[in-house]
Chain A
Amino acid sequence: MIKLSHIHKIFTQGNTEVVALSDISLHVKDGEFTVLKGASGSGKSTVLSLIAGLSRPSSGEVLVEGKAISKLPDNFSALFRRENIGFIFQKYNLIPTLSVRDNIILPLIPQNPSEEVLTHSVNHVMEKFSIAHKADMLVKNLSGGEQQRVAIARALINKPKIILADEPTANLDAKLSNELIAILKQLKEENTTIIVATHDPLFFDLDFVDAQVEMKNGKIV
């Protein structure tokens, strides 16, 4: 369960204040698939980042799985993220000088899994997103679409209960986009909670979407 109540998020840059979110309240039940849409700059990424505990709201409360993630001490929110959340970043946030494989295993490293478990998990997700053949290539040498698939694979390697996807199809062609949607559908069937921020119309009339939330200038409309 994800619950945002009366969230405000204000960025200060020097003297200017940017109000990214104002009075956002949102409720997503376990296993629901939510599409977050809205124009560029409307605050979609900011919402996802608050849910993942990557930043803290200026006011209001974020509850994820019953925990006030915005109030957890840093180390706990990291642990929580590692165990529950898979985040597909809009800008991928991969480490360009690491190989595909090494990028994907990043979330597993702190858990110190056995070599066996590690290899199995990484091979599994790499095959699922058709990048196994580039496993040892450096990420900086990949195309945009390939990088996106690496980012998706990394987000899913921990088998998270919650998936937050920020423009996951921005760099994928129609075929790969449909493949991703099929995978998301399957994950939903496995009872994963999914929030996708996107302006890709492909997501707008999917039959398994539970809710569509539209944002405008930091507000839900």
Chain B
Amino acid sequence: MAEALVKIRNVSKSYYRDSQEIPVLRNINFDIPQGEFLALMGPSGSGKTTLLNLISGIDRPSSGDLAVAGENVAQLTDGQLAKWRSEHIGLVFQFYNLLPVLTAFENVELPLMLTKLSKAERRKHVETALSIVGLADRVKHYPRQLSGGQEQRVAIARAIVSDPTLLLADEPTGDLDKQSAEDIMTLLSRLNKEFGKTIIVVTHDPRAAEKAHLIRHLNKGELT
């Protein structure tokens, strides 16, 4: 089998509060192959979000090595990391994080503003992404004119518009009703099957986790 897409070696993470060390992740060792659809579960406070943040490069491990697609993420400068993220990572959050002043189209276009794509090329990418998530008819809507499920689909479109290596979703269904939650999980599953995206989803919902190939549990900072 080819080399794993994500390689986590002896990764630990601690936060400091008033010079007191709070260990959050302890000695994590973990490989994620290309094309995997992984669900990460665990009780609140177990460090799921923290682990996801380390993989996406918006936070750094306290110790250990973390490589994504052959790049040792822990060793990049902030500037290199920002560029690396924009090329390799798509992020989806529980609360969608859409910019309320931008339309669905503009929200999806936002990450492409960092690329050299022309306006016409951007338009093509945005339209493709929005049609994949089934919102081609909502391009001109502002977030407040969309339902929660639709907002989350716009957020997913935004996460995939730059064709990232890795799609990371932190409780993407946490704020949605049952039906919308199922639609979102089906969509992620499609992205994995049809487009071969490697996906990691953090979720509390066992029904949602069922859609994944693999379920891993975090407990008190340790993978079980």
A binds B: no
Residues of B participating in the A interface, judged by any CB pair closer than 8 Å: none
Residues of A participating in the B interface, judged by any CB pair closer than 8 Å: none
